[in-house]
Amino acid sequence: MFLFDKIILFVIVCQAITFAVILYILSRENAASKRVLGHYMVINSLYYGISFLYYNKNFQEVTYLYYLIIPIILLIQPLFFFYIKSLTSPTFKCTPKRLLHFLPSLIVLLMNVFLYSFLSPSEKIQLLTFSGESTNKILNFYYYLHKDWYHILLSIQALIYLGIVVFNIYKYKKQMLLNFSNTEGVNLNWIITLIIIFISITVLHELLGNIDKVVFNVRARLSYNIFYMLIISFIGIGGILQKEIYSEKDNEIAEKDNESKYKNSPLSEDLKKSIAKELMLYLEKEKPYLNSNLRIDDLSQSLNVNRQYLSQVINEVYNKNFYTLINTYRINEAKKLFYEKKHKQLSIMGVARSVGFNSKSTFNTFFKKFTGNTPTEFILKNKL
pLDDT tens digits, one per residue of 37-58: 999 999 999 999 998 998 888 8
Count CB atoms within 10 A of the CB of residue 277: 12
- What's the average model confidence in pLDDT over 324-339? 91
CA-based nearest residue to 116, from 69, 152, 154, 51: 69
- What's the average model confidence in pLDDT over 73-78? 93
CA gyration radius for the chain? Answer: 27
| Residues whose CB falls within 8 Å of the CB of residue 246, separated by 6 or more in sequence, listed in order | 89, 90, 254
pLDDT at position 248? 54
Do residues 45 and 16 make contact, with C-beta atoms less than 8 angstroms apart?
yes
The C-alpha atoms of residue 280 and residue 237 are separated, in whole angstroms, by: 41
pLDDT at position 132? 62
- What's the average model confidence in pLDDT over 78-105? 88
Residue type, 271: L
pTM of the full predicted structure?
Answer: 0.79
| Residues whose CB falls within 8 Å of the CB of residue 209, separated by 6 or more in sequence, listed in order | 151
Is the pLDDT at 9 greater than 70? The verdict is yes
Residue ranges of domains in the chain, CATH in brackets: 2-249 (1.20.1070), 258-381 (1.10.10.60)
CA-based nearest residue to 306, from 277, 272, 356, 270: 272
| Residues whose CB falls within 8 Å of the CB of residue 163, separated by 6 or more in sequence, listed in order | none
- What's the average model confidence in pLDDT over 355-376? 90
Do residues 358 and 292 make contact, with C-beta atoms less than 8 angstroms apart?
yes
pLDDT at position 16? 95
Select, from the ranges 91-100, 122-131, 279-288, the one with the highest average predicted confidence (pLDDT): 279-288
Report the range of poorest mean pLDDT among 62-76, 149-163, 216-230, 350-364: 216-230
pLDDT at position 258? 45
> Comparing 338 with 132, which gets the higher pLDDT?
338
> Comparing 331 with 204, which gets the higher pLDDT?
331
Banded model confidence at residue 194, pLDDT cuts 50, 70, 90: confident
pLDDT at position 357? 92
Is the pLDDT at 255 greater than 60? The verdict is no
Render 157-221 in DSSP notation, one character per residue: HHHHHHHHHHHHHHHHHHHHHHHBS--TTTS-HHHHHHHHHHHHHHHHHHHHHHHHHHS--HHHH
pLDDT at position 181? 87
The C-alpha atoms of residue 314 and residue 146 are separated, in whole angstroms, by: 55
Q: 3-class SS at 295? A: strand
pLDDT at position 136? 80
pLDDT at position 10? 93
pLDDT at position 283? 93
pLDDT at position 59? 81
Banded model confidence at residue 214, pLDDT cuts 50, 70, 90: very low
The C-alpha atoms of residue 89 and residue 180 are separated, in whole angstroms, by: 13
- What's the average model confidence in pLDDT over 33-40? 93
Residue type, 41: M
